[in-house]
Chains A and B, each alone.
Chain A
C-alpha cells in the first residue's frame, strides 16, 4: 500500500494530476470509503485494503467536472465500469490517470460477523498486497482468526478476472479468487416453481426501504435524474410507499442497466437490508449471453450493447 501511496504522491507532486480518487480509512478500519484527495497532505488517510470494495469509477463523473486530471485507483473489475462510462460519454479518458491496483479479493464484513465475531476493534491482515491469507481480528472480547479467502464478498468468489481492461499503470498483483460459478445461484432459482420464485423474491424485496443506496452506488445508474425521481413517467415516488413499487423499481432498474451492467456487485454490497440485488442483473447477463452471444459490458469501448442491436433470427419473447 505504501508503494501505491508514494506513487500517487509523486504523480501529484509532478503535476501529472491535480488530485487523487481513492479510499479513506473509516471509523472502524473495516469501513473504508471512497474519497477525493485534493492535496498530498490529505493522503495520510489514504488506504487500500480488502475493505476498499467501493468501485470508484462512478466518482469519475464528478472528477471530470473538476479542473485538471484525477488519479483514479481501479481494481480489475472496476475497470469494466470505467470503460462502460467512457463508452456512454459520461467521463473523459484524458481527465483520468488510471492506476490499476492489484486485488486479491474484497472483504465482506457481514461474513466476518456471521462467524459470531462481535465488538470488532481492529482487523489485521487485510492488506491487498500481502500474500498472507489470514485475518487477525481483535475484538473487545478477545482475538479471532479467519482465512482471508473465507471472508470474501460473493462477487469476488465469481470474479471476472485479474486483468485490468484499461489503465495507465498497474501497481500490485491480483490473485485468482474464483471459487464459484457466477450463474449457479441464478440457475437454482430458475429451477424453483413459480410460486417458490415469487415467495423468494417477495420476501427479499419486502425488505427494501427504498433508500436508493443501490442506485447511488451503481456505476451504470448514472442518470442525471432517475426516472423514479422525475415526472416523465408519472412514476416519481417517495420512499417506502405501498404496493408493487419496489418490484417495479428493481425490475426497471435491472432492465435499465441490462447490457450495461458489468456485474460489479456494488448494488448488493451496499444494500443495508442485504437484498441480493445482483440476482436481477445477473439474470439479464445470463439471458443475454445465452440468447445473443457472450457479452461482457465494459470489456471494451466499441462493442454495441445487446439491447441496442439485434439479429434477424433472435429468440421470440416468452419462448425461451
Chain B
C-alpha cells in the first residue's frame, strides 16, 4: 500500500465494546469531546466474553479492515470472570490469524474502563492509524481461488 493513499483510504473498523466498562468509556470520550475517526463503529455487547470469533471473522468476510474488542480490565469484569475467558479466546484466535498469514495488527484487544475516556479515544486513534498503514484488507476477502 503506497503511503499517499492512506489519506484517502477510509477503513471499515468494527469495535466490540462491553456494556459496563468500554461502552461507558466511549460515552465518556463522547461527552468529553475526545475525537477519534468516524471509521470506528461500535457494537455493544454485554461483556467481552460475548464476542464470538465467528463475529470477528464475519466482519472480515464482509469487508472490515480491522476489528477491535474492548472490555473491562482483567479483575474488573462486571460478571467477574468474563474478560478472562475472552482473553484466552482472543489470544488463541489472534495467534491463529497470524499463523495463517493474516496481519496480526488487524485485530486488537484493549481493556478500557468506564473512566478511561482518554485511553478509549487514544486507542481508537492509534488503531485506525495502524489499519490505515496496513491498507485494505485483501487477504481475508474473496480469495478462494488461487490467483
Contact = CB atoms under 8 A, between A and B. Distances in A.
Nearest to B144: A243
6 contacts: A190-B99, A192-B101, A245-B144, A291-B88, A307-B88, A312-B84
A244 B144 contact: yes
Contacts of B85: 307-308, 310
A251 B96 CA distance: 8
Given A243-B141, A243-B144, A280-B96, A314 B88 contact: yes
Interface in B35-71: 52-54, 57-58, 60-61
Contacts of B96: 251, 254-255, 280, 283-284, 287
Interface residues of A, number: 49
Contact of B91 (A192, A254, A317): A317
B87 interface: yes
A42 interface: no
Contacts of A247: 57, 100, 140
A180 B98 CA distance: 25
A197 interface: yes
A223 interface: no
B109 A317 contact: yes
A232 to B, nearest CB: 10
Given A244-B60, A244-B141, A196 B101 contact: yes
A293 interface: no
Interface of B: 52-54, 57-58, 60-61, 74-75, 81, 84-85, 87-104, 107-109, 139-146
Contact of B95 (A311, A314, A320): A320
Contacts, number: 132
A248 interface: yes
Contacts of A283: 95-96, 99
Contact of A251 (B57, B75, B90): B57
Nearest to A280: B96
A194 interface: yes
Interface string A194-213: 11111111110010000000
A245 B57 CA distance: 9
Contact of B143 (A197, A233, A244, A291): A244
A292 B54 contact: no
Contacts of A194: 98, 101-103
Interface string A171-189: 0000000000000001001
Nearest to A250: B100
Contact of B142 (A242, A287, A315, A318): A242
B101 A318 contact: no
A258 interface: yes
B72 to A, nearest CB: 14
A314 B92 contact: no
B75 A206 contact: no
Given A199-B101, A251-B53, A206 B92 contact: no
Interface string A241-268: 0111111100110110010000000000
